[in-house]
Amino acid sequence: MSDPQLAVLVQDAADRMEAAGVFFGHGTDNALDEACWMASHVLALPPDFGPEAFSLPVAEADRVRFDALLQQRIQTRQPLAYLIGESWFAGLKFRVNRSVLVPRSPLAELIVEGFEPWLPASRLRRAVDVGTGSGCIAVALAHYYPALEVDAVDLSAPALALANENVRAHGLADRVRLVQSDLLEALSDQSYDLILANPPYVPEASMKTLPPEFGWEPRCGLVAGEDGLDLVWRLVVQSAQCLAPHGILICEVGEAAAALDAWLADEAVTWLEFAHGGDGVFLLDRDACRRVAAARTP
């Protein structure tokens, strides 16, 4: 019997994952893309392999390995990134393990496309990534802005250890500084043109409703109090102090967006839009952060 074509294997895997109710959202958002990612890993193909690869025959040994990975994904519901130890963000490859969230923030699009009209590239000299996890945002910033100095903070020592591996793997240790800190606490004397953050923002009660895939991720990377905003408030207040006069804070709050909007009430907050999907990302300039901080100070 001849070897099956890649197209057959990929379609079958996608069908089986869908039938099993697998959740997609940790690096892909649909079954077919996830099956292609699986195939690219097993067959050592580029992640964006083209249609010509679909007609390739798949040798028996590769088919067995592919099937084993598929079974594991379906049976354990573990995100594929953890099963293979790597993921992609802003077109770059990152090592991941269970001490960090699987990279998936829509902030990747902003990093690649640029921050204009809010912050011209010429004014972007120092940035900080708050809650760096795998280091994906900090590394992508340093990669796409070759003159940029980047600080990257996290409270979690295991996350920082992995971020360090990723910073080194991308050859960026001279421009990305990793700091263990509770948000910007340890950097309160610094001044940044850009504060970029994807902090934990899942409301406590929502945790129980999330698909099993999220249970494999570190809780400290997801949960943030009753309304999901525990860390965001503190970050806005700290940003009032750490932003340069022309500086901006861009922060992802996902489903906590409505709560944030209600709380900010009269404050002019900009909600960013993304061509490649994603929402719940707001922008505040330094003056707005200062007004919010003043309003919250008793």
Ligand X SMILES: C[S@@+](CC[C@H](N)C(=O)[O-])C[C@H]1O[C@@H](n2cnc3c(N)ncnc32)[C@H](O)[C@@H]1O
Q: Site residues (CB under 6 A) for ligand X?
A: 100-101, 103, 105, 131-134, 136-137, 153-156, 159, 182-183, 198-200, 220-221, 231
Give 6 or 134: the residue with its C-beta nearer to ligand X.
Answer: 134
The pair of three-digit structure tokens given for residue 44, joined into one six-digit string: 């050592």
Give 53 or 293: the residue with its C-beta nearer to ligand X.
Answer: 293
Work out how close the CB of 92 gets to ligand X at its nearest, in angstroms, rounded to a whole number: 12
Work out how close the CB of 102 gets to ligand X at its nearest, in angstroms, rounded to a whole number: 7
Work out how close the CB of 198 gets to ligand X at its nearest, in angstroms, rounded to a whole number: 4
Work out how close the CB of 228 gets to ligand X at its nearest, in angstroms, rounded to a whole number: 11
Give 36 or 139: the residue with its C-beta nearer to ligand X.
Answer: 139
Work out how close the CB of 162 gets to ligand X at its nearest, in angstroms, rounded to a whole number: 9
Give 13 or 133: the residue with its C-beta nearer to ligand X.
Answer: 133
Give 26 or 41: the residue with its C-beta nearer to ligand X.
Answer: 26
Give 9 or 281: the residue with its C-beta nearer to ligand X.
Answer: 281
Work out how close the CB of 136 gets to ligand X at its nearest, in angstroms, rounded to a whole number: 5
* Cβ-based neighbours of 223, under 8 Å, separated by 6 or more: 200, 202, 203, 204, 207
